[in-house]
Structure formats: C-alpha cells, structure tokens
Amino acid sequence: MAAQNIQPMPAFEPRSDPTSTSARWTLWLERFNTYLLAADIKDDARKRALLLYQAGPEVHEIFKTLEEGETKDFKSAVKALTEYFEPEKN
C-alpha cells in the first residue's frame, strides 16, 4: 500500500496564530490534497477519515460541533471546515 511509505502530515493548529488561520488552512489543505494524491487514496470515506486524523484532535473536535459534523462525505467536510476557518467576506 502506497500510504505506508508516506510520512504523516503535521496537524493543523487553528489557534496558533488567529490572524493567519484562513491562509494557513488553505495551505494545509493544499498539502493534504497532495498527500492524498501521493498516497493514491481515492475512497471518499477514507479521505474524510484521513482529513480528520491528519488535521489533528483540535480540528476533529471543531468538526464535531459543525452542522456537517455527522456527514461521511469528504467534500462536505472540507467545505464545512473551510467555511469555519475563513472569515466572512464583505
């Protein structure tokens, strides 16, 4: 399995610098998508599980509080977290 040879990503730390959360999340998510491609992970449920695992316990706890926190859909999970970490745009 290809994923066994790939190092885990560092967790996303949403509270480390509140002024750059959105930009850091965008960069982390880009790296995560590269990780999925490199590991040849295509199954939607597995992508979602890895998203929450790799993002770390703090993100996992945040996700559980969101309306989409029960969804098993990867794209919905990404959308919900992105909306959470991005400030409202005027």
pLDDT, tens digit (0-9, with 9 covering 90-100), for 12-65? 999 999 889 999 999 999 999 999 999 999 999 999 999 999 999 999 999 999
Angle of helix 57-65 relative to helix 74-85, nearest 10 degrees, comes to 100
Distances (CA, A) of 6 to 22, 34, 37, 43, 44: 26, 11, 11, 17, 19
Around 57, how many Cα atoms within 13 Å sit in the side-chain half-sphere? 0
Q: For residue 90, what pLDDT band results from cuts at 50, 70 and 90?
A: very low
pLDDT exceeds 90 at position 70: no
pTM as predicted: 0.86
* Residue 68 CB neighbours (<10 A): 15
Please state the domain extents for the chain: 42-89
DSSP summary character for residue 12? P
